[in-house]
A = this chain, B = another copy of it.
Amino acid sequence: MKITLLTHTPEPVKTIYIACRTCYSKTPPSEMGDVPQEKMTKLIRHTMESGHHSVLEHVTFSFAVEGVSRALTHQLVRHRLASYAQQSQRYVTYEEGTLNFVTPKSIEATALKTYNAFMAESARVYEELVASGVPAEDARYVLPNATVTQIVVTMNYRELIQFCRLRLCFRAQWEITEMTHLMKKEMIKVSRFLGNYLQPKCQHLGYCDETEPCGKYQFPPESSVVKAHRKELEL
């Protein structure tokens, strides 16, 4: 799996700051000149903590997602407030030796041989069908969920936060969680301030609302609600 930040709105913190200030100010947005970074992050933090997240939509981030399975992308594209460009299994015909497959860790440990043999067989049947004149769009019916694909994903920052709340959760599926962690890493390279808000929902809520919690959640010391919550749990 390889996640690359292809491009993003330049100076994202400044852009969000201008959107924030426009709501509450008489200054024209085109004249909201250079302001110290600290002043900008202070206003943004304040706005976010009040739950006013629409200002975060004005900056977008585009990722190249490579080496992931179609199992992952079928989940990914369920997030509707985002844009996708995915390698098509209708228009791309895989030639011999170019099909790749993702292997779950649980299988690596116990059944790798069976799994690899099956994947080789699926590639063989696919290639046989294509060779016999079956269109790629039909031959792909034999391709398993494990088949590697690539996709370009563009999300605005508000949706990225929401996406991470769901997909950084350890109850999410391991492959998409891994991808989301790598997206967060890319974000932190651009802006530690923006990257740090990309958190699983438990860190935002101060508790876990899943039916079967992973148990790994460590309450952050700074949250007073969580401090209180923990106090109660200890009683």
Q: Given that A74-B73, A102-B141, A107-B134 are contacting pairs, would A201 and B51 also be in contact in the complex, using a CB cutoff of 8 Å?
A: yes
Rounded to whole Å, the gap between the CB of A52 and the closest CB of chain B is 10
CA distance A80 to B4 in the complex (A): 24
A195 beta carbon closer than 8 Å to chain B: no
Q: Which of B60, B106, B151 contacts A134 (CB 8 A)?
A: B106
A18 beta carbon closer than 8 Å to chain B: yes
| Contact residues in B for A11 (Cβ distance below 8 Å) | 7
A85 touches B7 (CB 8 A): no
Report how many residues on chain A are interfacial, defined by Cβ distance under 8 Å: 105
Rounded to whole Å, the gap between the CB of A90 and the closest CB of chain B is 6
A192 beta carbon closer than 8 Å to chain B: no
Q: Given that A18-B152, A66-B29 are contacting pairs, would A111 and B91 also be in contact in the complex, using a CB cutoff of 8 Å?
A: no
Interface centre among A29, A71, A111, A211 (most CB of B within 10 A): A29
Rounded to whole Å, the gap between the CB of A194 and the closest CB of chain B is 15
What are the interface flags for A23-53 relative to B under an 8 Å C-beta threshold, 1 for contact and 0 otherwise?
A: 1111011100000000000000010011100
B24 touches A64 (CB 8 A): no
Interface centre among A15, A144, A232 (most CB of B within 10 A): A144
Interface centre among A11, A133, A138 (most CB of B within 10 A): A138
B150 touches A22 (CB 8 A): yes
Question: What is the chain B residue whose CB lies nearest that of A232?
Answer: B228
